[in-house]
């Protein structure tokens, strides 16, 4: 159950709504707007100062841009520069009513742009390589004889360098701490590099710095530190740069004391000074400015009635997200990824994250990372069908869509799979002294505090809120320099998490830093978990900022996505009203419990191409006018594109030009009706647009706390023909039985106990059978392969049973089956079972295989557990009741037959006597029980044996496996 946090963030533009309607001549002389423009668009500000030099066409374009910024300055609530400000307010109006506020003051807080400062620091590093301290980039990981970084800051997808001895020395000495240049050079010399001239070392360090393999201590943390203050602290006291940056700080402090509207010239002076210190390539941003709204008294936003409504909405959205049947998207892709992980490593096995995500050694990234998959609700979903009916009814009766939680038939779901927190944005207005709420166009975020983090430096109340919103889990604040360094300002934030991972820059708390190399991945109970290889603790990566991780390196994105996957994806997923806009041009207003969750709106995607194909404004206008008349669209609307919303008068040519300009950039654009009512501050402060961010906390959530740390063994591998011959035989799934029959004949003709083999069926892009053969030597392995090639494969290729053969390196699944010693005994079981199936089961029908599979499950369970209680626990844990009716319809009572079999009486199960030859191999394996449980749980190991057994018998068929488990449960 979710409840709103007691505090919220109020966001408000610093110009009143009427400002956007002023004449161009009045707008450009407005002192506040000029200061806003210096920060928001320096190039446009410079153009206005030289307006008379431009052609009429250029002037017209400038006028359109100015009008766009004027609309933004008076309407858009998203905090940016001096355009809008924030306040941390009480949620409940029992603390005082916002209509009683008489005045407010805008407090500006400017800091240096992070990208500019980092660029300056990197330039200083290269010029003073012998004067700074270094450590390894915390994102570095090793693969073979090379060192890798997960992404780069210069548009390359990945950085890797040879892990030469000098780099190995640096890695050993400053993996977790900073060491001076002289200390590191001395350590390298001790490793046999005494004869290398000292003048050679700087160039080596410079190359490492350029590639960000190492970082200097001068690089400012993105989290919990003022970047400029940090650099001043770390620079030598007699440094010229320190003196220059100190002067810069004084200028910025002086600007921060100025009133809004009085800082234009001060800003211009600061920017000129910064350019003289360091001119950044392709950069026009020098300062980051945020604004805090200091009101003259304390107040709350929502009435108790409104609080009840927003709590109800939050819970409805979470429940709907859990119950909707969806396809595509992130969650489906991660479900498939989990199955791949289980197939390769097994349950509860901790594997280094960087190895898992390696496409060659591991399983690679989830498919959706390679091509974005749209998440859609399935058309036969009951909730979607309900909304389709409501949509049709609303169109027929020309009315809004209204619904309540009682109409939505939610099934009860385990609360474990819900998010621990999230945020919702609400637009709020007043109608006849009653509050009217609208769910924000940018709905919110998937974690409480994300909207607050970057404003921690503005006010102690922001820090207080962030501390109170911390849920005290084993969270890791993920802090990193983004690939697009220019957006780093968005990521500066405050975190109270106990641990951190800081990539490409310094950590604010190096003693509690997690390295990328420290992160392990495991799958347990159907969920993926990240953990610390040093402590075994489950790690939940989090970010207290609004950065969209889809734009970042895949590993960075994965750390956040898998953390949300474990604790339930964000409750802000796809909903029925989102589907409407994909399928319909017009969507009526949608209301839940009095809150408008989707305004009446029209999609522009169908007429977009028609408009853009026209050359002149008048031709575009004609097409758009026909569209407006066809759908009876009002002249006063809100135009929404990307994450922006601006008011429009569709009768004004200037507004249409703004619309057409942005329609070209943003394919998926819509127009909606404006909100009803007036500003909650209209009677006192003025007609300001207002939005409120409300965090919601799951008050009865429970989280996974299993910190069982199993030993990990992942380095063993066997090259082709070394020990096992490992082949992937690709071909149609429906012809795999023919392949196995051909192998049966070949093996029968060998007639030698020296030969071992086992197989499994797999789907890795394409269906194939993975076959492993082993003889007494590498030479015999190669000779055996030649026989297979000549006697079997050549024929199967001709008739289309197989179409491709790969010979691969064999990586034994040691962790999955109890460690490097136990895997040898497990392989004996694989070989014996493969021979059993090939010799006895290839011609069985589906029903016959199902009965055999059920008995095989019981055979394994009996061998692994000596008592019926544990047998029943295991079977029950893997049981679903979906196939009870099918079991009851079987011709015999197989539970009676099984009891006869166990008592030594004649039974229907006697026909499976050939399974008894597995007993010796299983018993030999289980002699190592104490050893194998160091690597995986006993239950998971047993499950892995059974899963592979079902795979050999029937192929990749999860329903078959579920049904076999159910039948085994009923039989037992």
Tell me the pLDDT tens digit for each residue of 436-458: 999 998 888 888 888 998 898 89
Pairing type for strands 538-542 and 475-480 reads: parallel
Instruction: Compute the distance between CA of residue 741 and CA of residue 748 in angstroms, rounded to an integer.
Output: 11
Which residue, 570, 510, 519, is CA-closest to 546? 570
The alpha carbon of residue 693 and the mean position of all alpha carbons in its chain are separated, in whole angstroms, by 22
- 876 pLDDT band, cuts 50/70/90, is confident
Q: Give Cα separations from 633 to 587, 625, 629, 636, 638 (angstroms).
A: 12, 10, 7, 9, 11
Give the pLDDT of residue 417.
Answer: 54
Q: Where are the domains of the chain?
A: 1-112+237-302, 600-672, 713-811, 819-972
3-state secondary structure at position 156: coil
Which residue, 97, 862, 847, 219, is CA-closest to 508? 219
Instruction: Compute the distance between CA of residue 689 and CA of residue 18 in angstroms, rounded to an integer.
Output: 11
Give the pLDDT of residue 93.
Answer: 83
Q: Are 92 and 308 in contact (CB under 8 A)?
A: no
Q: Are 325 and 574 in contact (CB under 8 A)?
A: no
Q: Are 310 and 437 in contact (CB under 8 A)?
A: yes
Q: What percent of the chain has pLDDT over 70?
A: 95
Give the pLDDT of residue 63.
Answer: 92
Q: Are 133 and 180 in contact (CB under 8 A)?
A: yes
**What does the chain come to in residues?**
972
Specify the DSSP element, H or E, that contains 695. Answer: strand 691-698
Which residue, 482, 420, 487, 496, is CA-closest to 452? 496
**Range of weakest confidence among 119-123, 319-323, 703-707, 712-716:** 703-707
Pairing type for strands 401-403 and 590-592 reads: parallel
Instruction: Compute the distance between CA of residue 174 and CA of residue 183 in angstroms, rounded to an integer.
Output: 10
Taking each helix axis from N to C end, the angle separating 114-127 and 201-210, rounded to the nearest 10 degrees, works out to 160
Residues 6+ apart with CB under 8 A from 614: 620, 623
Give the pLDDT of residue 242.
Answer: 95
Instruction: Compute the distance between CA of residue 425 and CA of residue 421 in angstroms, rounded to an integer.
Output: 14
Q: Give Cα separations from 314 to 88, 178, 300, 578 (angstroms).
A: 20, 46, 20, 17
Tell me the pLDDT tens digit for each residue of 49-80: 888 899 988 999 999 999 999 999 999 999 88
Average pLDDT over residues 588-616: 95
Average pLDDT over residues 868-897: 82
Rg of the chain taking only CA atoms, in angstroms = 33
Pairing type for strands 519-524 and 421-431 reads: unpaired
Instruction: Compute the distance between CA of residue 849 and CA of residue 845 in angstroms, rounded to an integer.
Output: 6
Which residue, 492, 496, 501, is CA-closest to 463? 496
> Residue 473: pLDDT above 70?
no
Taking each helix axis from N to C end, the angle separating 958-971 and 938-954, rounded to the nearest 10 degrees, works out to 120
Mean pLDDT of the chain: 88
Beta bridge partners of 528: 523
The alpha carbon of residue 318 and the mean position of all alpha carbons in its chain are separated, in whole angstroms, by 18
- 596 pLDDT band, cuts 50/70/90, is very high
Give the pLDDT of residue 585.
Answer: 94
Give the pLDDT of residue 288.
Answer: 93
Which residue, 666, 589, 652, 643, is CA-closest to 624? 652
- 279 pLDDT band, cuts 50/70/90, is confident
3-state secondary structure at position 451: coil
Q: Are 961 and 947 in contact (CB under 8 A)?
A: yes
Residues 6+ apart with CB under 8 A from 911: none
Between 410 and 77, residue with greater pLDDT: 77
Q: Are 512 and 499 in contact (CB under 8 A)?
A: yes
Q: Are 787 and 727 in contact (CB under 8 A)?
A: no
DSSP 39: H
Spell 378-414 as b/e; 16+ CB within 10 A means b: eeebebbeebbebbeebeeeeeebebeeeebeeeeee
DSSP 410: P
**Range of weakest confidence among 131-145, 265-279, 533-547, 653-667:** 533-547
Tell me the pLDDT tens digit for each residue of 718-740: 888 888 889 999 999 999 999 99
CA dihedral sign of residues 493, 497, 503, 507: positive
Residues 6+ apart with CB under 8 A from 173: 179, 183, 184, 187
Beta bridge partners of 110: 289
Tell me the pLDDT tens digit for each residue of 495-537: 888 799 999 999 999 999 999 999 999 887 778 889 999 988 8
Give the pLDDT of residue 387.
Answer: 94
Phi, psi (deg, nearest 5) at residue 256: -60, -25
- Domain 713-811 belongs in CATH node 3.20.20.370: no
Spell 533-570 as b/e; 16+ CB within 10 A means b: beeebbbbbbbbbbbebeebbbbbbbbbbbbbbbbbbb
- Compute the C-alpha angle 545/546/552, nearest 5°: 100
Between 474 and 786, residue with greater pLDDT: 786
Torsion of CA 382, 386, 387, 390, to 10 degrees: 170
Which residue, 597, 595, 562, 564, is CA-closest to 580? 597
Give the pLDDT of residue 7.
Answer: 93
Instruction: Compute the distance between CA of residue 131 and CA of residue 139 in angstroms, rounded to an integer.
Output: 24
Beta bridge partners of 9: 88, 693
Q: What is the pTM of this model?
A: 0.81
Give the pLDDT of residue 120.
Answer: 96
Give the pLDDT of residue 414.
Answer: 45
Give the pLDDT of residue 970.
Answer: 87
3-state secondary structure at position 351: strand
3-state secondary structure at position 97: strand
Residues 6+ apart with CB under 8 A from 224: 493, 494, 495, 508, 509
Tell me the pLDDT tens digit for each residue of 778-822: 898 898 899 999 999 999 999 999 999 999 888 788 878 888 889
- 235 pLDDT band, cuts 50/70/90, is very high
> Residue 704: pLDDT above 50?
no
Give the pLDDT of residue 183.
Answer: 96
Q: What percent of the chain has pLDDT over 90?
A: 54
Give the pLDDT of residue 415.
Answer: 41
Instruction: Compute the distance between CA of residue 76 and CA of residue 155 in angstroms, rounded to an integer.
Output: 32
Pairing type for strands 499-503 and 475-480 reads: parallel
What's the N-to-C CA distance of the chain in angstroms?
A: 39
Q: Give Cα separations from 736 to 301, 694, 799, 956, 958 (angstroms).
A: 66, 56, 13, 12, 18
Instruction: Compute the distance between CA of residue 250 and CA of residue 79 in angstroms, rounded to an integer.
Output: 25
Specify the DSSP element, H or E, that contains 951. Answer: helix 938-954
If you count DSSP H runs as helices and E runs as strands, how many of each does the chain have, helices first?
33, 35
Give the pLDDT of residue 566.
Answer: 54
């Amino acid at each position: 159950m979710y409840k709103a946090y007691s505090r919220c963030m109020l966001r408000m533009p610093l110009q009143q709504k009427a400002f956007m309607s002023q004449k161009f001549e009045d707008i450009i002389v407005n002192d506040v707007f000029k200061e806003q423009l210096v920060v928001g668009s320096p190039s446009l500000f410079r153009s206005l100062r030289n307006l008379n030099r431009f052609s009429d066409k250029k002037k017209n374009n400038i006028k359109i841009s100015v009008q766009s910024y004027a609309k933004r300055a008076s309407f858009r609530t998203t905090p940016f520069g001096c355009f809008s400000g924030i306040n941390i307010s009480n949620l409940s109006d029992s603390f005082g009513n916002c209509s009683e506020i008489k005045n407010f003051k805008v407090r500006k807080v400017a800091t240096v742009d992070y990208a500019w400062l980092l660029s300056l620091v990197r330039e200083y590093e290269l010029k003073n390589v012998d004067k700074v301290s270094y450590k390894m980039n915390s994102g570095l990981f090793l693969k073979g004889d090379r060192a890798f970084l997960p992404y780069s800051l210069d548009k390359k997808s990945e950085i890797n360098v040879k892990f030469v001895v000098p780099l190995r020395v640096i890695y050993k000495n400053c993996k977790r701490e900073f060491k001076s240049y002289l200390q590191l050079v001395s350590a390298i010399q001790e490793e046999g590099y005494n004869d290398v001239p000292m003048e050679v070392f700087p160039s080596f360090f410079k190359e490492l710095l350029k590639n960000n393999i190492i970082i200097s201590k001068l690089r400012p943390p993105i989290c919990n530190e003022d970047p400029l203050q940090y650099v001043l602290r770390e620079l030598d006291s007699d440094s010229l740069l320190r003196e220059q940056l100190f002067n810069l700080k004084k200028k910025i402090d002086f600007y921060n004391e100025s009133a809004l509207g009085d800082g234009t010239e001060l800003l211009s002076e600061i920017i000129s000074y910064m350019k003289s210190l360091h001119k950044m390539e392709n950069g026009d941003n020098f300062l980051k400015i945020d604004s805090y709204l200091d009101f003259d008294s304390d107040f709350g936003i929502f009435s108790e009635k409104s609080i009840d409504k927003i709590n109800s909405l939050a819970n409805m959205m979470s429940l709907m997200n859990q119950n909707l049947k969806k396809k595509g998207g992130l969650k489906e892709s991660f479900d498939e990824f989990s199955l791949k992980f289980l197939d390769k490593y097994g349950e509860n096995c901790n594997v280094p994250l960087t190895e898992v995500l390696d496409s060659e050694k591991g399983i690679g990234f989830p498919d959706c990372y390679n091509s974005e998959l749209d998440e859609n609700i399935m058309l036969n979903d009951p909730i979607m069908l309900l909304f389709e009916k409501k949509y049709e009814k609303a169109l027929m009766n020309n009315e809004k869509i209204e619904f309540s939680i009682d109409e939505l038939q939610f099934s009860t779901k385990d609360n474990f799979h819900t998010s621990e927190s999230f945020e919702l944005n609400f637009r709020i207005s007043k109608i006849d002294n009653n509050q009217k709420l609208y769910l924000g166009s940018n709905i919110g975020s998937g974690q409480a505090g994300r909207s607050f983090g970057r404003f921690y430096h503005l006010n102690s109340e922001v820090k207080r809120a962030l501390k109170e919103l911390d849920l005290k889990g084993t969270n890791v604040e993920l802090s990193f320099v983004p690939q697009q360094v220019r957006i780093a300002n968005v990521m500066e934030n405050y975190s109270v998490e106990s641990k951190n991972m800081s990539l490409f820059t310094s950590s604010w708390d190096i003693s509690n830093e997690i390295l990328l190399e420290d992160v392990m991945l495991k799958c347990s109970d159907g969920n993926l978990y990240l953990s610390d290889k040093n402590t075994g603790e489950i790690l939940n990566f989090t970010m207290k900022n609004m950065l969209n991780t889809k734009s970042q390196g895949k590993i960075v994105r994965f750390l956040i996505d898998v953390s949300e996957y474990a604790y339930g994806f964000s409750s802000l997923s796809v909903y029925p009203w989102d589907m409407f806009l994909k399928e319909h041009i017009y969507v009526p207003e949608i209301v839940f419990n009095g809150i408008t969750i989707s305004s009446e709106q029209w999609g522009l995607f169908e007429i977009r191409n028609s408009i853009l194909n026209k050359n002149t404004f008048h031709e575009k206008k004609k097409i758009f006018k026909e569209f407006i008349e066809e759908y009876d669209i009002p002249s006063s609307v809100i135009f929404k594109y990307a994450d922006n919303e601006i008011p429009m008068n569709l009768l004004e040519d200037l507004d249409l030009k703004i619309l057409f300009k942005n329609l070209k950039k943003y394919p998926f654009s819509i127009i909606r009706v404006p909100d009803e009512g007036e500003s909650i501050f209209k009677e006192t402060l003025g007609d300001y647009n207002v939005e409120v961010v409300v965090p919601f906390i799951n008050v009865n959530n429970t989280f996974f706390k299993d910190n069982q740390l199993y030993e990990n063994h992942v380095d063993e591998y066997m090259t082709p023909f070394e020990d096992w011959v490992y082949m992937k035989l690709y071909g149609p799934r429906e012809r795999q039985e023919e392949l196995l029959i051909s192998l049966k004949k070949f093996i029968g003709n060998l007639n030698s106990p020296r030969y071992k083999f086992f197989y499994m069926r797999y789907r890795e892009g394409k269906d194939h059978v993975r076959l492993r053969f082993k003889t007494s030597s590498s030479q015999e392995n190669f000779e055996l392969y030649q026989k297979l090639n000549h006697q079997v494969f050549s024929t199967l290729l001709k008739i289309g049973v197989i179409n491709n053969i790969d010979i691969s390196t064999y990586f034994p699944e040691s962790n999955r089956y109890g460690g490097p010693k136990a895997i040898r005994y497990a392989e004996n079981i694989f070989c014996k079972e493969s021979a059993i199936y090939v010799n006895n089961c290839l011609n069985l029908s589906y029903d016959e295989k199902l009965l055999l599979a059920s008995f095989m499950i019981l055979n394994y369970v009996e061998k692994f557990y000596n008592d019926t209680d544990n047998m029943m626990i295991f079977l029950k844990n893997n049981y679903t009741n979906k196939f009870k009716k099918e079991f009851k319809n079987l011709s015999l009572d197989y539970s009676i037959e099984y009891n006869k079999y166990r008592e030594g009486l004649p039974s229907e199960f006697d026909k499976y006597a050939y399974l008894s030859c597995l007993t010796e191999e299983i018993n030999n394996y289980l002699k190592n029980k104490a050893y194998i449980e160091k690597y995986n749980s006993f239950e998971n190991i047993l499950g892995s044996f059974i899963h592979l057994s079902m795979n050999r018998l029937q192929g990749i068929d999860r329903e078959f496996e579920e049904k076999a488990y159910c039948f085994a449960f009923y039989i037992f």
